[in-house]
């Protein structure tokens, strides 16, 4: 999945330096945040998981990775509704999908 930085450009008033810095930090931190999701599931830390999904959702939105953002939104909603029986499986599927498509 590729990034679409047009939204970020708009939000940052067209400041290319800020956009570049955001993307660099994104590339460093988001894979680690995604990799940490299964541990939160395993620990049944639902509040922590919801917060992590919420944060990832916005970050994916910023860089135009809308399909990932939508998955985060759906998972976050499911966790917030307390429907956690199949959440570990869904998180696992997502992390694999992310790792396969991720091109730093």
Partner 1 sequence: MEQPHLLFIDDEVQYSELTKEYLEMKGCKVVLKHDGQAGLDAFKAQPFDLCVLDVKMPKKDGFTLAEEIKQIDENIPVIFLTGQSLKEDKIRGLMLGADDYLTKPFSMEELYLRIRAILKRVKVHEKTRVTDLYEWGQSRFDPELRQLVVSGETIKLTSIEAKLLKLFCEHQNKVLTRDAAMIGIWGDEEHYRGYSLNVYVSKLRKFLKADPAVEILNLHGEGYKLIFKPVTA
CA distance 79 to 48: 10
What is the gyration radius of the CA atoms in the chain, in angstroms?
14
The 4-23 contact track toward partner 1, x by CB under 8 A, reads ---x--xxxx-x--x--xx-
CA distance 73 to 50: 10
Q: Which is nearer to partner 1, 57 or 91 (CB)?
A: 57
Binding of partner 1 at residue 26 (CB under 8 A)? yes
Q: Which is nearer to partner 1, 29 or 99 (CB)?
A: 29
Residue 7 token pair: 């939204």
The 27-66 contact track toward partner 1, x by CB under 8 A, reads --x-----------------xx-xx--xx-xxx-xx----
Q: Are 91 and 38 in contact (CB under 8 A)?
A: yes
Q: Are 10 and 65 in contact (CB under 8 A)?
A: no
Q: Which residues contact partner 1 by CB under 8 A?
A: 7, 10-13, 15, 18, 21-22, 25-26, 29, 47-48, 50-51, 54-55, 57-59, 61-62
């Amino acid at each position: 999945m590729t990034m679409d930085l047009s939204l970020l450009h708009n939000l940052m008033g067209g400041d290319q330096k800020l956009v570049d810095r955001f993307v660099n930090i994104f590339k460093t931190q988001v894979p680690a945040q995604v990799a940490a999701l299964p541990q939160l599931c395993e620990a049944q830390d639902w509040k922590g998981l919801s917060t992590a999904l919420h944060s990832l959702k916005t970050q994916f939105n910023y860089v135009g990775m809308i399909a990932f953002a939508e998955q985060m939104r759906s998972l976050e909603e499911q966790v917030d509704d307390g429907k956690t029986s199949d959440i570990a499986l869904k998180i696992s599927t997502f992390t694999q999908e992310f790792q396969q498509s991720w091109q730093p």
